[in-house]
């Protein structure tokens, strides 16, 4: 388990300034840390999806679309891009590559390492442990992530939302690569194997 008072190092900017697919794969096993939402919560990341910018029909910036909602994606890597789906559920993404390259990784799921009591209070006492953070909307609810977190600098050591590295890695045979979820509208791109997931439980 992660010691709350002694967080591992926060990932540096150059971790994110690489190809989005590479960043997505290496985010597996990292720790998503939330420290200002009424109680500290730490998740071990277990599922992510890569979105490849203007050439990816499944991406919000496909074709060069640039709107107030997607502006964060057009900026510096290592920032949080948070958007709403169906006007209800927030989704957390990590911006990759660099300015004017609007790509990102969607954080889909994680395992609670610390702060289970806070997660349960937000998700409901009757929700099974495996279902607490096994979807992007559930994960944001569990960590009290909202649109106000859009643009947050994940690389700042004192940020209330950041990603840390305690050395946990998953071997290739522990990682599944599958098509992304809910992007049937994207045509051929819907079948691209850009969803990375692990099912191996680890305590770090």
Predicted confidence (pLDDT) per residue in 152-199, tens digit:
999 998 999 999 999 999 999 999 999 999 999 999 999 999 999 997
Mean pLDDT for the chain overall = 93
DSSP per-residue string spanning 98-161: ETTEEEEEEEEEEEEEE-HHHHHHHH-TTS-GGGSSSSHHHHHHHTT--GGGTT-BTT-TT-SE
Q: Examine the pLDDT at 4 and tell me if it is beyond 50.
A: no
- In terms of pLDDT, which residue wins out, 44 or 127? 44
Burial of 98 from C-beta contacts in 10 A (0-12 / 13-18 / 19+): middle
Domain count, the chain: 1
pLDDT at 203: 43
- Whether 198 is in a domain gets the answer no
Q: How many CA atoms lie within 13 A of 112 on its CB side?
A: 23
- Whether 50 is in a domain gets the answer yes
pLDDT digits (tens, 9 = 90+) for 88-130: 899 999 999 999 999 999 999 999 999 999 999 999 878 877 7
The CATH code of the domain that includes 114 is 3.10.300.10
DSSP per-residue string spanning 26-72: HHTT-EEEE-SSSS-EEEEEEEEEEE-GGG-TTSTTGGG---TTTGG
Angle among Cα 84, 50, 56 to the nearest 5 degrees reads 85
Q: Are 103 and 53 in contact (CB under 8 A)?
A: yes
Q: pTM value? A: 0.93
Range of the domain at 79: 17-189
Residue 77 is classified by DSSP as T
- Whether 175 is in a domain gets the answer yes
Cα distances (angstroms) measured from residue 95 to each of 15, 83, 123, 179: 11, 13, 26, 20
């Amino acid at each position: 388990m992660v010691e709350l008072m002694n967080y591992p190092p926060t990932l540096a900017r150059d971790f994110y300034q690489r190809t989005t697919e590479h960043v997505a794969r290496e985010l597996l096993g990292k720790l998503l840390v939330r420290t200002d939402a009424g109680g500290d919560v730490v998740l071990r990341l277990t599922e992510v999806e890569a979105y490849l910018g203007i050439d990816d029909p499944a991406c919000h910036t496909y074709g060069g679309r640039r709107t107030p909602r997607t502006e964060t994606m057009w900026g510096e890597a290592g920032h949080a891009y948070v958007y709403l789906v169906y006007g209800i559920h927030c989704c957390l993404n990590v911006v990759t590559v660099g300015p004017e390259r609007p790509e990102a990784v969607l954080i889909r799921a994680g395992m609670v390492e610390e702060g289970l009591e806070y997660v349960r209070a937000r998700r409901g006492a009757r929700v099974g442990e495996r279902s607490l953070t096994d979807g992007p909307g559930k994960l944001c609810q569990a960590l009290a992530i909202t649109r106000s977190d859009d643009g947050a600098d994940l690389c700042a050591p004192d940020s209330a939302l950041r990603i840390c590295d305690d050395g946990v890695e998953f071997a290739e045979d522990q990682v599944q690569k599958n098509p992304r979820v809910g992007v049937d509208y994207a045509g051929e791109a819907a079948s691209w194997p850009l969803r990375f997931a692990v099912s191996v439980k680890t305590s770090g």
